[in-house]
Chains A and B, each alone.
Chain A
């Protein structure tokens, strides 16, 4: 069971500048939680990929950054939620090189590799929620 801290930060993702803002926020949060520089980089890179995905494929969305705990583990959780068309074929979208936009096709799969836990769920009536979690001090 993952417990999330009531304290969280919420950001709209409606422009490229917002994508930068979200990754900076994630970096700041990760630093405050005591993550290593490498983990901060992993988390902000995952945030950048996911926020861009929401912007490019869904025209925008919302990002939530929060501290989470599970037993003695302390972690950071990032949630990206959009109200776009969703992903028709998730397995295909997670495969490297697959892209419907102007990227490398590493967005979702890349973010997954940079996190410890990764969840994607469709929203009703439309949209997508992607959750990534990374625990402090774990390889």
Chain B
């Protein structure tokens, strides 16, 4: 249940596939690992694949939002991809609000979204 979540660098993009049960400490560690990697490698996009997660509670939601905000400050855009339908419905019912967070249906569309946005500053809601 412990261990680290690997960060894969593909060119300009960091790919994170979360495939373990996220407990709180692990989520915080992932956030810290990502910001350290961005500082080191200067990637401009982050793709977080949560298709293997069957649970996103308010704490995990907050950590994902914090990761995206931190990455943004370091010059990278983040797209969360692969959310399961039941997780999406539950998040809405839970009352989680993700202002400014980008999502896409799957990795392929997430990558497309990152390359479309590349170098273009877009106003954020």
- CB B110 to nearest CB in A, in angstroms, measures 22
Within 15-53 of B, Cβ neighbours of A (below 8 Å) are at: 21, 23-25
Bitwise, B45-85 to A at CB < 8 A (1) or not (0) is: 00000000011111101100000000000000000000011
B90 near A42: Cβ-Cβ < 8 Å: yes
Specify which of A17, A41, A106, A107 is in contact with B1 (CB 8 Å cutoff): A17
The segment out of A44-52, A81-89, A124-132 that lies at the interface is A44-52
**Interface size bucket, B side?**
20 to 34
- CB A38 to nearest CB in B, in angstroms, measures 4
A24 contacts partner chain B, Cβ-Cβ < 8 Å: yes
A96 contacts partner chain B, Cβ-Cβ < 8 Å: yes
Which secondary structure dominates chain A's binding surface?
helix
B94 near A16: Cβ-Cβ < 8 Å: no
A63 contacts partner chain B, Cβ-Cβ < 8 Å: no
- Residues of chain A within 8 A of B85, CB atoms compared: 38
A10 contacts partner chain B, Cβ-Cβ < 8 Å: no
B90 near A41: Cβ-Cβ < 8 Å: yes
The CA-CA distance from A19 to B23 in the complex, in Å, is 8
A110 near B86: Cβ-Cβ < 8 Å: no
A104 near B96: Cβ-Cβ < 8 Å: yes
- Residues of chain A within 8 A of B120, CB atoms compared: none
- Residues of chain A within 8 A of B56, CB atoms compared: 45
Specify which of B55, B58, B59, B95 is in contact with A41 (CB 8 Å cutoff): B55
Q: When A45-B55, A107-B58 are in contact, do A20 and B21 touch as well, CB less than 8 Å? A: yes
- Residues of chain A within 8 A of B21, CB atoms compared: 20, 24
B86 near A38: Cβ-Cβ < 8 Å: yes
Give residues in A with beta carbon < 8 Å to B: 16-17, 19-20, 23-24, 27, 37-38, 40-42, 44-45, 48-49, 52, 96, 102-107, 109-110, 113-114
Given contacts A20-B1, A49-B58, 14 further A-B contacts (CB under 8 A): A16-B23, A16-B24, A19-B24, A20-B21, A27-B54, A42-B93, A52-B59, A102-B59, A106-B58, A107-B58, A110-B58, A110-B93, A110-B96, A114-B93
Give the top 4 A-B pairs by smallest Cβ distance, nearest first: A41-B86, A16-B23, A110-B94, A48-B57
Can you report 13 residue pairs joining A to B where beta carbons are below 8 Å apart? A19-B24, A24-B21, A38-B85, A38-B86, A41-B55, A42-B86, A45-B90, A45-B94, A104-B62, A104-B96, A105-B58, A106-B94, A114-B93
